Every structure is written in structure tokens, then in C-alpha cells.
Structure 1
Amino acid sequence: MRSSPTLPPLPALRAFEAVGRALSFRKAGEDLLISQSAVSHHIARLEADLGVTLFIRHARGVTFTPDGERYFQAVTAAFSGLAAATAALRPAAARPLRLSVLPAFARIWLVPRLADWTRRAPETGLDINSTLAVADVAGGEADIAIRYGSGPWPGVSARLLLPERLAPVISPTLAARGPVLTAPADLLRHTLLTNLRPSDWQSWAASTGLDLSTARWLQLTDYTLVMQAAQDGLGVAMGRLELLSAPLATGALRPALPDLPTVPGAGYWLVTARGGTPHPARARFLRWISGQPPLA
């Protein structure tokens, strides 16, 4: 089959989307069941075809270039549109229940609980899209989206699943190395870690009177990377305490200062379409997930 003169090869786009999601050639290869060198080859071919650099390579992974970040958003949106169009052609009962979930929430909160769901509903398949892209649930891209924010949103139904609490956290290694933290303003002596939208830091700073105008930032694509960077001692993160319960319990992270105020943050919302014919398993899954207890 002749290749398109305007579109890159589909395998290269799939490799690019997988690398962008994981920010790792190795993990992308594991997801696609191909070697890391094959992933590297696909990305190199795509960059040559486009004439731009998509990733900056580091010893421990990759980060997007500005061109790569923009292209990633477009590619994930295109794949989501294709998935929605494909699903619309299939009878609802014959296809999996489609979930669109933020990567950090999927890995830390949702996946450890899925064994219980599969025991209760073994006949229902799940298609979990762990992505930063906002799924158009009203347009049929997903049956359920789990999103972090303040909600509600126009045009969709949204119910709060899990409210968050915010407070700065630090690794014991970085805390021991210094500089010493004795007051909120001392946080600015460290690098502050954030994802693409620093709204958590802004909310906490507004509640505590901390001026962030002189802060030194390290921005990472997803909150999963923020947590890993904090545990590696690269800076102070604004902790979403519900999501960080495990590393706080084990001591991998700790509050950056004693008696720092904890402020209400946004929350994790269950977002569904209004009207239409829902997937037969949607209501059952919503009841199940809403009744999940905290992780032990």
C-alpha cells in the first residue's frame, strides 16, 4: 500500500504517542511490545519526516520540546477521535467500557483497585486511556472521564469522586541536604516542582500569603513525574495528599515544614455525557468506583 504523501507512518505516530504518554522510550516499547531501539527508530524517522525535534533526550528519560508538546496534543486528540468514531459503529454491549483517566490517578488510585471490579463484573471489558488530553465525553470519546479540577463543567454531568487536600512535600534526602526550611517563604530557596498547570501551588500560595513571583520552577508534563521528581530530591512539590498517601506513609516524602497549613484543593470528578444511550455497564461502574475505600 502506498504511504500518504502528507501523513507520517502510523507506527511512528503510535510510537510518538506512547513515548509522549510515558516520557520514556523504554516504557513506550513495553506498552507497544516492541524493543526500545525500535521505538527510537520510529521517533527518529518521525522527526526527520517533520523536520523538527520532538523530544530532548536525558539520561533518565525524555522531555518534550515546545513543538513536541503541541504535536502530542494534536496526535492524542486525533487518536481519541478515531477511537470514538470506531466505538460509535459498534453496539454498546459488544464493546468495552471506555474510561479516560489522568495518568497519575490511573496508576496510583485506580489500577490497584481494578482487581475488585473484575471480580464483580468479569463479563465487562475495560478500555482505559491514561492521557492528559481532555476527552470529549459529550461527543462519545469516552463513557466516563475522571478529571482533576474544580468542576462542574458545562455540557456534561460531573460528580465529585474524591476531594483533595494540598500541602508542600519534600524528600527526606533533600530536607537533610538543605537549605533548611523554617517558614513558608523558605520554600522559595528550593526549586518548586509543578506539572503543566501550577494551579495547586497558586491555590496554596493564595491561602497562605506566599508570593511566588521569585520562585524557581521545574515544570513536568504530568503529576506522576512531579511525584517522582520530588522523591528523587529535585525540589519541593505541592502534594496532593490523597494521591500521595503511600509515599507519605512510607516516608519517601514528608511535609516540607512542620505545621504547614493544608488547604482544600481541587478534586477528582466523574464526568459523563448527558442524554443519549449510555453503555450498559456505566451506571454499575459509577456505583462501584464511588464506593471504593481508601487504599490500605
Structure 2
Amino acid sequence: MRRIPPLAAVRVFEAAARHENFTAAAEELGMTQAAVSYQIRVLEERLGQPLFRRERRRVLLTDAGRRAAHQLTRAFDAIDAAFAGIRAEDEGLLTLSTSNTFANTWLVWRLGAFQMAHPEMAVRLLTSDLLTDFAAEDVDVAIRAGRGGWEGLSEDLLLRIDFTPMCSPEFLALRGGRIEPADLLRLPLISPNDPWWSQWLREAGVEVPEGALRPGVRLDSQAHEGHAAMAGQGVAMLTPFFWRNDLAEGRLVRLFEQASTRNFGYWLVCPEHRRRVPKIARFREWLLREIAADGALS
């Protein structure tokens, strides 16, 4: 016979322990802070020992509370996973979050093929350069940039991010058809505040002055920077993989063979316990196959 404390109190404790904040737990569960405090007190009385230390306006887990919280979070994840497959199939909706750059330069050109292969499933695409919070947002999978190693997430490396200066053919022609690395310090740069500029220039042997580079237009994503470069507004630091078609069709010119990297990549991520949900598994298989066909990691 299981000796399980009241499940309502257990559920409240798991949320409060995860946030280590009664107010945040109350907001997540749609309860009042007083109700959360009451359920925690019920559980502590049932166990005969404190699970939180109250310190002024904050609460901290005790050693016993931390041990219990770790196991309970895994247990709730397992419960969620047990029902996730049913929910996913019934909902028939895949919600995907990705950056503006990845969406505009690669994904939206191919996403229709996935939709056609799975007409029973609707796909909702959200674009944001902020990291997805799976615990707080209604998102199934995300494509995010970084170095990987996110706790609790399943990760698949899609492509490595490198970067090199590019401009339009017209911009290059106005400069005599040739630009040297040192010339970039005197030319209009797109998003010169981007740290990629200083790194690339130093690796090219250019002495970079202290402080900001020459002022220029600042844009919030590589997708916008690439289109500004095609419009002749300056030189942009771009990832060649995303702009292959524009390079091949003459809308952009790659100025140098040198490409630098900060060891970042684009990753497909989802909560580890939801990795095998059918709709997520289907999208993962399709995306990895498409990326491989494009030779992103070759």
C-alpha cells in the first residue's frame, strides 16, 4: 500500500520548489499565495519536518525539501510524458519556436513540405530571438542558437554558425571591385556593434581600435542584415549557409575566404521527457533529414 501524502499538496510543493517562490507557484497553479502556503504547511505537518526555510521575504528549500523536489519533478515529468502522446495526437498541432534569422533564411522555405507530408497536423511557427521557456510557454519544440548543454532538454545540432563579410555586387563595384580587410574600418558596416566584427577583423590580421567601430545601421537579426546588404547599405557579417542562394544568384558577394566562428550552432531542442511524443519525433526526423540534405554539417 502506497503512503502518498495528499496529491493536491504534493502538486503545490513541486511547483513551489521548482520556482523556490510561493507567489510564482500560485500564479502557475491559478491559486492564491495563501492557498499555496496552506498546502505546504499541510504537507510539512504530514511529514513531520520542514520543506522550506522562511527568510524574510523569500523561501529556501531545506535539504529534505530539495531531495524530495528533485524526485517529484522527475515523477511529474514522467506523468506528463505518459499522457503527452495522447495529447499530441488529439491536439494535432505542432508549435515551433525559432529565431527570425533561421525562420526567414531557411525554415519557412521548407516548412510547407513538412505540412504537405503530414496534412493531419497543423504547424504554428513563432519567431523570437529570446530563448524558449518550455515550462511557461505553449511550445513543443524550438530551434535556438547557442553552445548547447541546456539542462533538461534533448538537443540535436543542426548546423554550426560561422560568419564572414558580404555586400552587394553594386556596393563592391563602387569601391573599385576589391576590398581589403583593413578597408572595412572605413566602410559603412551593418550592425558594427556586433562582436563578430571585432573577432573576424582580428583573425584577419587587422588591428581593431578600442571602442566601437565606425557607426552604422543597427539591425536586430541576420535576416535583416543580409537584406540591407543586398540593398547596398553596407557590408554585413553573415553566415554563408543561410545566404547560399543569394550568393549563387549574384545578389550578394562574399568578400573573403576567411570565415570565423564563436563555437555557436543552431540546435533543435525540446524537453527531454517529450522527445518521443509522436508529433515531435516526426518533425525531428524530417528536420534532420532536410538539414543533412543541405549539407549543413558536412
Residues 14-53 of structure 1: pairs in structure 2 closer than 5 A: none
Q: Tell me, which stretches of 5 or more residues in structure 1 are unaligned?
A: 1-87
Q: Residue 119 of structure 1: SS of its match in structure 2?
A: helix
Paired residues of 1:98 and 1:143 also in contact (CA < 8 A): yes
Tell me, yes or no, if structure 1 residue 122 matches structure 2 residue 119: yes
CA distance in 1, matches of 2:177, 2:284: 45
CA distance in 1, matches of 2:157, 2:199: 19
Tell me, yes or no, if structure 1 residue 282 matches structure 2 residue 280: yes
Aligned to 1:230: 229
Q: Taking every aligned residue pair, what percent have the same amino acid on both sides? A: 32
The structure with the largest alpha-carbon Rg is 2
Aligned to 1:294: 294
CA distance in 2, matches of 1:184, 1:141: 45
Out of 159, 162, 176, the residue aligned to residue 156 of structure 2 is: 159
In 2 relative to 1, CA 165–193 (structure 1 residues): closer, same or farther, beyond 3 Å?
Answer: same
The one-letter amino acid paired with 1:294 is D
Paired residues of 1:167 and 1:238 also in contact (CA < 8 A): yes
Aligned to 1:205: 201
Aligned to 2:46: none
CA distance in 2, matches of 1:142, 1:212: 43
Q: Deviations along 1:129-162, whole A, 9 cap, x unmatched?
A: 0222321124453111111233233342322111
Residue 215 (structure 1) shift: 1.7
Residue 212 (structure 1) shift: 5.8
Out of 99, 103, 126, the residue aligned to residue 102 of structure 1 is: 99
CA distance in 1, matches of 2:276, 2:125: 17
Q: Residue 190 of structure 2: SS of its match in structure 1?
A: strand
The one-letter amino acid paired with 1:207 is E
Residues 260-271 of structure 1: pairs in structure 2 closer than 5 A: 260-264=257-261, 266-271=264-269
Q: Residue 91 of structure 1: SS of its match in structure 2?
A: helix
CA distance in 1, matches of 2:240, 2:267: 16
Residue 272 (structure 1) shift: 1.1
In 2 relative to 1, CA 159–200 (structure 1 residues): closer, same or farther, beyond 3 Å?
Answer: farther
CA distance in 2, matches of 1:110, 1:127: 13
Residue 178 (structure 1) shift: 2.3
CA distance in 1, matches of 2:199, 2:274: 36
Residue 202 (structure 1) shift: 4.0
Q: Deviations along 1:96-127, whole A, 9 cap, x unmatched?
A: 11100112211221122123212321111111
Aligned to 2:47: none
CA distance in 1, matches of 2:209, 2:284: 39
Residue 243 (structure 1) shift: 0.3
Paired residues of 2:115 and 2:123 also in contact (CA < 8 A): no
CA distance in 2, matches of 1:236, 1:229: 9
Residue 180 (structure 1) shift: 6.8
Normalising to structure 1: TM-score of the pair?
Answer: 0.61
Paired residues of 2:96 and 2:139 also in contact (CA < 8 A): yes
The one-letter amino acid paired with 1:194 is S
Tell me, yes or no, if structure 1 residue 92 matches structure 2 residue 88: yes
CA distance in 1, matches of 2:202, 2:285: 35
In 2 relative to 1, CA 212–123 (structure 1 residues): closer, same or farther, beyond 3 Å?
Answer: farther
In 2 relative to 1, CA 179–141 (structure 1 residues): closer, same or farther, beyond 3 Å?
Answer: farther
Out of 150, 170, 173, the residue aligned to residue 173 of structure 1 is: 170
Query: What is the aligned length?
Result: 204
CA distance in 1, matches of 2:138, 2:196: 28
Aligned to 1:145: 142
Q: Deviations along 1:160-202, whole A, 9 cap, x unmatched?
A: 111233211011111122277542111111122129x724324
Paired residues of 1:181 and 1:187 also in contact (CA < 8 A): no
Q: Tell me, which stretches of 5 or more residues in structure 2 are unaligned?
A: 1-83
Q: Residue 160 of structure 1: SS of its match in structure 2?
A: strand
Q: Deviations along 1:203-250, whole A, 9 cap, x unmatched?
A: 423433432645223211222210111011111111210001111111
In 2 relative to 1, CA 219–154 (structure 1 residues): closer, same or farther, beyond 3 Å?
Answer: farther
CA distance in 1, matches of 2:99, 2:141: 12
Q: Deviations along 1:254-276, whole A, 9 cap, x unmatched?
A: 0224xx41224532111211225
Q: Residue 163 of structure 2: SS of its match in structure 1?
A: strand
Aligned to 2:217: 218
In 2 relative to 1, CA 101–181 (structure 1 residues): closer, same or farther, beyond 3 Å?
Answer: same
Paired residues of 2:275 and 2:281 also in contact (CA < 8 A): no
